[in-house]
Amino acid sequence: MSGGGDDYKREESVVLIVIVSLAALSLLSLIAAFAYYCYITRKVSRRLNSHQLPKRSSSPAPLPLPPPVIPPQGKESPSSNSASDGAAAGALVVGAERGVQLFGYRQLHAATGGFGRAHMVGQGSFGAVYRGVLPDGRKVAVKLMDRPGKQGEEEFEMEVELLSRLRSSHLLGLIGHCSEGGHRLLVYEFMANGCLQEHLYPNGGSCGGISKLDWPTRLRIALEAAKGLEYLHERVTPPVIHRDFKSSNILLDKDYHARVSDFGLAKLGSDKAGGHVSTRVLGTQGYVAPEYALTGHLTTKSDVYSYGVVLLELLTGRVPVDMKRPPGEGVLVNWALPMLTDREKVVQILDPSLEGQYSLKDAVQVAAIAAMCVQPEADYRPLMADVVQSLVPLVKNRSASKSCNPNAQASRPLD
C-alpha cells in the first residue's frame, strides 16, 4: 500500500511541475507578445507623426498650440554654412517645420539685396518689410524684426505659431521664417499692391490725396477682410483675436484681393460664450474698442469694432484720427456715427472720389453695417459671420450689375 501511495505522489508532483511549467511559458509568451505590440505601436506612431501635415481650413485649428520649435540661437543649419552649399541645393530652404520653411539669415540677406533701402516696401509694428526673390523665382516679402527684448520675441513666436497652423485664403500666407543668432525674420507671400492704407490715402491721409480705389473694389475688400476675421473668430477653437486690425494690416495682391496680416499682437480668446481674456491694452489709436481700452477685457467684439473703423475708412476716405480737421471731426467714429443711420446724411460723409460709382441703397446699407460694428456697447455689435452675410449680396449685386451694363464705369473684378 505504501509503495502505491509513493507512486501516486510522484505522478502528482510531475503533473504539478508540468502545469507550472506550461503556465510559466504561457506567461512569458504573453509578456513577449505585449512587448512586441508596444514596440510596433510606438514605431507606427513615430512614423505617422513624422508625416503629419497641418490641418486645412475645413476643420478648426487645434488651439491652444504648443510653442514652436525654433533652432538654438547662435547656431546655423548645416546646409547654410556657405553660399556654395545653398547654390548647390538650388534653394534657400534649409529645413521645414509644420508646413513652413526654415531659412538661413545669409540666404534671406542675399534674396533681399542685403536689406537695402531700395528693397524696402513697408514698416510694420514688427519691423521693416523688404521685397525679395527666391532662387525658384518666387517673390516674397521678408519682415525683419527690429523690436528687441521679450515682447519682440513673443510677437515673433505668436506669428510663426498661428500662421503655421491657420489656413485661409483671406489670411496672409507664411512661407517660412528664420531664427539665427539675434536675427528674427518672417517670410510671406508677396502682395503686389501693398496695404489698403496706402491706396486710401495716397498723400499720407491728412485732408489730402484722392484715392483711386473705386466702389466695387472697396466693397470686395470689405467682404474679404470680414471673411478673414470670421475665420479667426468662428472657425478656430478657441477663437483668435487679432487685436491690431487696421487698414495698414489689410494687404492687397495684384488683383486687389485682400488678406489680413500682422498677427504679432494676436491673442487666444475665451472659448466660453460671452467670455473675455484680460490683457494689457495694445493696438493702434483710433481702432481700439472703448471697453478694451478702459478695462483690458479683450473679446472678438473688440476686433469687430476695429473692423467697423476700417469700414468707415472705406466709406469716407478719412483716417481714424486727424486732429488737423475742424472741431468735432478729428475722431472718425465720433464724427460719423451720428450720421450713419440718416439716409440723407450718409451721402454727406462719403468719400468725394466715389461720386457716381455707388447706388444710394448700397451706401446706406454699408453705413448701417459700420454703425453696428462701432457701437460703444460690445454686446450690440454683430458677429463677423453676420457682417459677411450682409456684405455678400451687395458684392454679388454690384458684380451682376457691372456685367449687365458694359457701358458702366470700368472697375476691377469683384469675384
State the DSSP string of 320-359: SB-TTSPTT-SBHHHHHGGGTT-HHHHHHHS-GGGTTSS-
Q: Which of 6, 7, 136, 244 is catalytic?
A: 244
State the DSSP string of 292-321: HHHH-EE-HHHHHHHHHHHHHHHHH---SB
Q: Alpha-carbon distance 78 to 80, whole Å?
A: 5
Does the annotation count 244 as an active-site position? yes
Only one residue has cell 506612431, namely: 45
Q: Alpha-carbon distance 114 to 318, whole Å?
A: 36
Q: Alpha-carbon distance 113 to 111, whole Å?
A: 6
Please tell me the total number of residues recorded for the chain in this structure. 415
Alpha helix stretches (DSSP H) within 51-101: 83-89
Grid coordinates representing 133 are 526673390
Within 10 Å of residue 400's Cβ, how many Cβ atoms? 11
Active site members: 244
